[in-house]
A and B are shown apart, each in its own frame.
Chain A
Amino acid sequence: MTEYAAMIPLVIVALSATAAMLAEAFRQPGERMPIAGLGLIGLAGAAVASGFLWNSDAHSMGVIRSDNFALFINFVLCIIGVLTMLMSGDVVEREQIPAGEYYALTLFAICGMMMMAAATDLLVVFLALEILSLAVYVLTGIRRRSASGAEAAFKYFLLGAFSSAFFLYGIAFAFALSGSTRIEQIGEALSRQGAGEPSTLALLTVGLLAVGFAFKVSAVPFHMWTPDAYEGAPTIVTAFMSTAVKAAAFAAFVRVFLSPLEPLKNEWIPMLGVLAGLTMILGTVVGVVQTNVKRMLAYSSIAHAGYLLLGIVSANTTGKAAILFYLLAYAVTNMGALGIVALLGTSQNQHDELRDFSGLWKSRPGLAGLMTIFLLSLGGLPPTAGFIGKWYIFSAAIQEGHYWLAIIGVLTSVISVFFYLRIVVMMYMTEGSDAVRPRLGATAVAGLALAVVAVLYLGVLPTRALDLALDSISTIF
């Protein structure tokens, strides 16, 4: 039994996904069924199981390792999942999305992500990547009648397949290098090579794996799919993708780059440093000119990937912990922000243009207030989670003397505040649009309340979460 202990959280999620599929299959036409509830139970179970596994450092079959690092990501994913489930109810009904498939795919994606965070074998990382990617491709195009959805799903699929190929190629070189796909053994093989010039094989491994990850975390110049996919997907799926996929991809990124590939640090730090700088700059500068809120938040999510990359570039304890905290902070913040955009849509109109937000303060003061808090958090203003996250990331970079990257980071944050404030200006300082504002269901309100409490809690009393994050990285050397 202990052999499988490390897999319990993801098995629970997979079971709940299967249950959701079965529930859908046995549903009478027209019958309402709380399928999201199944998902909530599964996610809560996974979170509880992760809690029990804390500090146990359980291994399964040598390829899954539930160390605290993976468990922290599990918690983040459970939070994202719970928020998605809570806020999806209204959207699924409105867009006539097939509920069972939607929830099942979301849960399978989360299962894949948990596997990705815990995988200690590059092939399992790849397997997890495919599990989550396939689910997310389908989710992107789940509105079958939507042309933009189909386009987004197709683009995402093509570029995703490319990135998978790069990644797989990188794994092949790693295997050629070390005779194994296990992370520890690759690490050992690399450190045996010593401090001299790294071999071409090693450089190819690093380069190809980096490209694969860069695609998944949408770092410039591999970000092209992001705005289209995010804009075409149903908004709630965008929220899910931008937070959960990022969390899983960064988890694997950290695990691969900061342990087995650590000996090659001097080779990849400059490369990823340039990537981080470009990603921050392009994400914010292009974000400034967007008039569609989803697209704007897509570019903002590219910029946030840049900040997260800064944590990897720093390659120190603070950086690793900062990535974990930032992923958590970004998850609750962006789920909240995109969740509101999703909830404001109606079946005729998505209401995701900037001008659709005008006068929201008058018609829905509560929503406008929540949106403001989320946007301030995205912009990194105190007292929100986003501020602490950025502070932490920049601390890591400065600690290693990456002053220029930190300066690029803070200046792009200021620019990004400009476009986040455009939404605030619309909501508070412009006369109202005649957009119909739908009523929110109780679960959606609960989801938003949860997100905002988390944003403020992490912003004012971050100590606990920071300590947990610091506690989680001891197994990543």
Chain B
Amino acid sequence: MLSVIVFLPLVGAILVLLAGGSGDRRDREPAVRTLALAVSLATFLVTLLLWWRFDPTSADYQFVERHAWIPAFGIQYLVGVDGISLLLVVLTGFLTPLALLSSWDSVHKNVKMFSFFILALESSMLGVFVSIDLFLFYVFWDFVLIPMYFLIGIWGYERRVYAAVKFILYTMAGSVLMLVAIIGLAYAYASTSPTGTPSFNLLDLYAVRLSWPMEMWFFLAFAVAFLIKVPLFPFHTWLPDAHVEAPTAGSIILAGVMLKMGTYGLFRFAFPLFPSAAMYFAPWIGVLAVIGIIYGALVAMVQPDMKKLVAYSSVSHLGFVVLGLCAMNVQGAQGAVYQMLNHGVSTGGLFMIVGMLSDRRHTRLISEFGGLKAVMPRLVAAFLLITLASIALPGMNGFVGEFLILVGTFLWSSKLAAFAASGVILSAVYMLWMFQRVNYGEITNEKNRTLPDLTMREWVMMVPTIAMCIVMGVVPGVFLRPMEPSVKRTIERVTGRSYAATSQPQHVVALGAKPAPVPAAPLPPAARDSRIASPEPTAASRRPRSASSE
């Protein structure tokens, strides 16, 4: 089933190429668009089916498919999903049709190739999330760059070539060092394995024990690759360029899914593969994340261009995700994974709105707008809901994620949590200020008087997005439950602590998703900081290096 999900878009992409005829044929445009949309919707349905059949109580990989690929090097075609990747797969399936829809009226240059690249991109992103073999993962990880490069470079705005080249070189420079580390790790495994062949199977590699300098260097190589992708301050400089110049569909996918590949990689690969190095560097990464949160928010505040504003807000929001992961406890990590999904939906939504406005006015400058509420009440209402989701209003999705992350961070370091919390306020400031300048007040620009409100197609895009924002805010348990066992296991792998004795964390109870049994026995000391009501704040704020050190 996973192979179907991964390769269906690719097959669709090839069909699109065939259906489009040779050259750039205008008359085939509707057929090409419909076909591409149908393929992406079909993929989405299969991902939903995957979720339906997923066993939420297990922390193991499910739907595993295994084929020998390059046996001489222990390379397999090995795919599977667990609770962490499952929802990211669904998210990818959800956003791709929206991205295609968003380009319906704005892209007319060679629609065939455009749809081809979007579908190829979907395929490779899905591949990244389901790969368990590191070689396979790297192949997909690198391949993602190619369609995105073309999407930015061909269908982007004025400085598209610069942005596209910067994007691909920046992210590639990070990934190739990871390649060296991957190979090094596989040979480290080979030196200990009985057969002497290397393995790229993640589950094998989790067991590899490295010397400290090796572990440190390998961790850094992995971490830099992922942090560039996230992007974490100070590796973020490619992002504003790429976002601003990318076409709307590209921005939706870039912000919605591709940035998550970085945080996903950190949590899936970098942390559990090199646990001691991860524990050693986590405070540093955490500090960078907090700097990113505040820096991104401050820079977003002064942007005159809406798209750039949203891009910097991504830097800020992804800082939260990284911070939650660095906290290395269940709350933080779960919040981080949840926030990945939230950010995908709400920032995807924001880029759709910005795209709609820029399609209407061919500008994205905030100063060009003003008083839109009187002209396009429905679009502005949608805009408001998405904005509220993005600034984490309680009842919307962003709240759940940021709350969990802050709880997790507080348990780890109250100082970082305090600084991070200021980012929540700042995000309200820049988003609402932008919203106010664009939508309220008098109509200052005559061109805005005659803008049409939401069209049918735009309704189709906005309704599911907003619905997801609300659903994820109201019933987070639906999404948190399947990911919980896997998140716990990953955290156990990194920290060496066991969560077997702990029950459901309390926050889930607070949000009314699932009743948690009260633990009968007193908690083991090692598990203490996974509880919200920690009796010793000083002990909880200091993070233990391992289970035994506390």
Contact = CB atoms under 8 A, between A and B. Distances in A.
Asked whether A and B interact, the reply is yes
Interface string A272-285: 00000000000000
Given A429-B153, A463-B70, A466-B72, A407 B165 contact: no
A161 to B, nearest CB: 39
Interface string B200-234: 00000000000000000000000000000000000
Given A381-B146, A411-B173, A429-B153, A418 B165 contact: yes
A418 B161 contact: no
Interface string B136-159: 001110110110011001100000
Contacts of A406: 180, 183
Contact of A382 (B71, B73, B142): B142
Contacts, number: 85
B179 interface: yes
A429 B146 contact: no
A383 B143 contact: yes
A376 B186 CA distance: 25
B508 interface: no
A462 interface: yes
A250 interface: no
Interface string B161-172: 100110011001
A382 B139 contact: yes
B238 to A, nearest CB: 14
B300 to A, nearest CB: 29
A407 B180 contact: yes
Contact of A398 (B73, B161, B183): B183
A418 B55 CA distance: 45
A228 B369 CA distance: 58
B323 to A, nearest CB: 29
Given A418-B169, A463-B69, A403 B184 contact: yes
B22 interface: yes
Interface string A405-430: 01100110110011001000100111
A406 B146 CA distance: 23
Given A376-B146, A382-B142, A428-B153, A421 B70 contact: no
Contacts of B146: 376, 381
A362 B109 CA distance: 11
Contact of B70 (A394, A398, A417, A466): A466
Given A462-B70, A463-B70, A410 B179 contact: yes
Contacts of A463: 68-72
Nearest to B68: A463
B161 to A, nearest CB: 5
B383 to A, nearest CB: 32
A55 interface: no
A395 B176 contact: no
The SS class assigned to the B binding surface is helix
Interface in A457-471: 462-463, 466-467, 470
Interface string A365-380: 1100000000010000
A232 B15 CA distance: 43
Interface residues of B, number: 38
Contacts of A403: 180, 184
B180 A429 contact: no
A475 interface: no
B139 A387 contact: yes
Nearest to B155: A429
A425 B153 contact: yes
A418 B146 CA distance: 13
B519 interface: no
A474 interface: no
A218 B45 CA distance: 55
A414 B173 contact: yes
A387 B154 CA distance: 24
B307 interface: no
A161 B414 CA distance: 74
A376 B145 CA distance: 11
B187 interface: yes
A381 B142 contact: yes
Interface string B57-83: 000000000001111110000000000
Interface residues of A, number: 32
Contacts of A391: 135, 179, 183
A407 B145 CA distance: 20
B70 A429 contact: no
B23 A365 contact: yes
A421 B72 contact: no
Contact of A467 (B72, B139, B168, B172): B72
A402 to B, nearest CB: 11
Contacts of B172: 414, 417
A455 to B, nearest CB: 14
Interface in B273-307: none
A330 to B, nearest CB: 19
A428 B138 CA distance: 26
Nearest to B186: A395
A146 interface: no
B194 to A, nearest CB: 18
B376 interface: no
A235 to B, nearest CB: 26
Nearest to A462: B70
Contacts of A382: 138-140, 142-143
Q: Identify the interface centre among B23, B139, B173, B176: most chain A CB within 10 Å of its CB.
A: B176
B142 A387 contact: yes
A399 interface: yes
B3 to A, nearest CB: 14
Contact of B145 (A381, A383, A387, A398): A381
Q: Which of A376, A387, A394, A414 has the most CB of B within 10 A?
A: A414
B154 A429 contact: yes
Contacts of A429: 153-154, 160-161, 164
Given A394-B179, A410-B180, A383 B139 contact: yes
A398 B169 contact: no
B177 interface: yes
B177 A407 contact: yes
Given A425-B153, A428-B153, A429-B161, A410 B177 contact: yes
Contact of B168 (A411, A413, A421): A421
Contacts of A470: 72
The winner among B135, B146, B165, B183 for most chain A CB atoms within 10 A is B183
B142 A413 contact: no
Interface in A80-118: none
Nearest to A410: B176
Contacts of A462: 70
A394 B177 CA distance: 11
A387 B176 CA distance: 11
Contacts of A394: 179-180, 183
Nearest to A418: B169
A417 B166 CA distance: 12
A379 to B, nearest CB: 9
Interface string A425-462: 10011100000000000000000000000000000001
B304 to A, nearest CB: 26
A467 to B, nearest CB: 6
10 contacts: A366-B22, A391-B183, A403-B180, A414-B172, A429-B160, A429-B161, A463-B69, A463-B71, A463-B72, A466-B72
Interface of A: 362, 365-366, 376, 381-383, 387, 391, 394-395, 398-399, 403, 406-407, 410-411, 413-414, 417-418, 421, 425, 428-430, 462-463, 466-467, 470
Which 6 A-B pairs have CB atoms at the shortest separation, nearest pair first?
A410-B176, A382-B139, A398-B183, A429-B153, A414-B173, A429-B161
Interface of B: 22-24, 68-73, 135, 138-140, 142-143, 145-146, 149-150, 153-154, 160-161, 164-165, 168-169, 172-173, 176-177, 179-180, 183-184, 186-187, 198
Given A407-B180, A429-B154, 13 more contacts: A365-B23, A366-B22, A381-B146, A383-B143, A398-B183, A399-B187, A407-B177, A414-B172, A425-B153, A425-B164, A429-B161, A463-B69, A466-B72
